[in-house]
A and B are shown apart, each in its own frame.
Chain A
């Protein structure tokens, strides 16, 4: 008898729970009334977007990295060497001295990825940012925890012949009367010989923008 009673309680609870879930699901499925808002639009990242200010934006990053990549591939020291040079392209020595807060990896990552894809073995890229990951696997192999896989072992991780350095700098000016803001941004890219310290390739990208719109970069 007690068993039947507890069973009926369980059924009641289940029915109530199902009903509550049904109501919640109905609420969740309704379209949100957002007539005053702006519908999402997909944009071409190589063109100026709907929100634009005086700083470095997506189209600038695409344009500068594309220009630098193409220019580097015309440099015989980098792209036509008998032994493909080992190169590090990351943001480690790429300094942001500008007034704009930005993720430098947006520039260096796009440059490295596109350069690696385009060079087709004419340059070899060292993933120094992955050194810890590589060391972990090397240790496991040498301790006999894992086998040596198919590529064999080397005495050490790859060193690099060249490394990308550079600076993002800017000069701001504002018209106190109108609030108009102007910014000149200069981005320099330099490939440094890691043995002798000489700069074997340089590139520069400049932009100047003026606007009165209140755009915040973050």
Chain B
């Protein structure tokens, strides 16, 4: 009976995870050209004086250094509420090169009016192995987060 219950528990736990596969995927290949054509339709930081600055998309990753613009690719951005009502943001970065990469990442949290809610987080160092992914995560201090901006800079 105990064994059946244990098996049921394992199956139930397994049901909540996406189906796994033993297939071996190809080595990561990146094409940065489509990024140039992406027109952001979502929220963005824009200058009060029109056309003086390119819009900075919010709830997204901004690569601030040109040197790594064709090396590091943000695969996806996630956000969720924590148990205390603060917000945790994550981004999965991909190292498209054949070399180890080191980047600095930080996050700015804003309210629904795009007003800064708290000091920008301290630069966090993220190491990426060649052709591999790495996850950066950060938590807000405040509970009233409306928008966030993740900035990625070249490591110093």
Closest B residue by C-beta to A80: B84
- Return the CB mask of A51-80 against B: 1 if under 8 Å, else 0: 000000001001100110111011110011
Complex Cα distance A121/B88, Å? 21
Residues of A within 8 A of B83 (CB): 74-76, 80
Number of A-B contacts (CB under 8 A): 46
Closest chain-A Cβ to B38's Cβ sits at a distance in Å of 29
- With most chain A CB atoms within 10 A of its CB, the pick from B82, B83, B84, B88 is B84
A118 in the interface (beta carbon within 8 A): yes
Partner of A118, one of B85, B88, B118: B118
A47 in the interface (beta carbon within 8 A): yes
10 other A-B residue contacts (CB within 8 Å) besides A47-B156, A63-B124, A67-B122: A46-B122, A47-B104, A47-B123, A67-B124, A70-B140, A71-B139, A73-B86, A73-B139, A74-B88, A122-B84
Closest chain-A Cβ to B82's Cβ sits at a distance in Å of 4
Closest chain-B Cβ to A216's Cβ sits at a distance in Å of 21
- Which label, helix, strand, loop or mixed, suits the secondary structure of the B interface? loop
B121 in the interface (beta carbon within 8 A): yes
Closest chain-B Cβ to A118's Cβ sits at a distance in Å of 4
Partner of A63, one of B85, B122, B139, B140: B122
The 7 closest A-B pairs by CB, nearest first: A66-B122, A74-B82, A70-B139, A118-B141, A80-B84, A62-B122, A79-B84
Closest chain-B Cβ to A57's Cβ sits at a distance in Å of 12
Closest B residue by C-beta to A74: B82
Q: Are B123 and A70 in contact (CB under 8 A)?
A: no
Complex Cα distance A122/B156, Å? 36
Q: Please give the number of chain A residues whose Cβ is less than 8 angstroms from any Cβ of chain B in the complex.
A: 19
Q: Are B123 and A69 in contact (CB under 8 A)?
A: no
Q: Are B156 and A63 in contact (CB under 8 A)?
A: no
Given A69-B141, A70-B140, A118-B141: A75 touches B122 (CB 8 Å cut-off): no
Closest A residue by C-beta to B106: A46
A48 in the interface (beta carbon within 8 A): yes
Write the residues of chain A forming the contact surface with B, with a CB cutoff of 8 angstroms. Answer: 46-48, 59, 62-63, 66-67, 69-71, 73-76, 79-80, 118, 122
Complex Cα distance A203/B156, Å? 25
Complex Cα distance A187/B104, Å? 20
Complex Cα distance A71/B141, Å? 9
Can you sample 26 A-B contacts with CB below 8 Å? A46-B123, A47-B104, A47-B123, A62-B122, A63-B123, A63-B124, A63-B125, A66-B121, A66-B122, A67-B122, A69-B141, A70-B86, A70-B121, A70-B139, A70-B140, A70-B141, A71-B139, A73-B84, A74-B84, A74-B86, A74-B88, A75-B83, A76-B83, A80-B84, A118-B118, A122-B84
Complex Cα distance A71/B139, Å? 7
Closest B residue by C-beta to A70: B139
Residues of B within 8 A of A62 (CB): 122
Residues of A within 8 A of B124 (CB): 63, 67
Q: Are B84 and A70 in contact (CB under 8 A)?
A: no
Complex Cα distance A47/B122, Å? 9
Closest A residue by C-beta to B88: A74
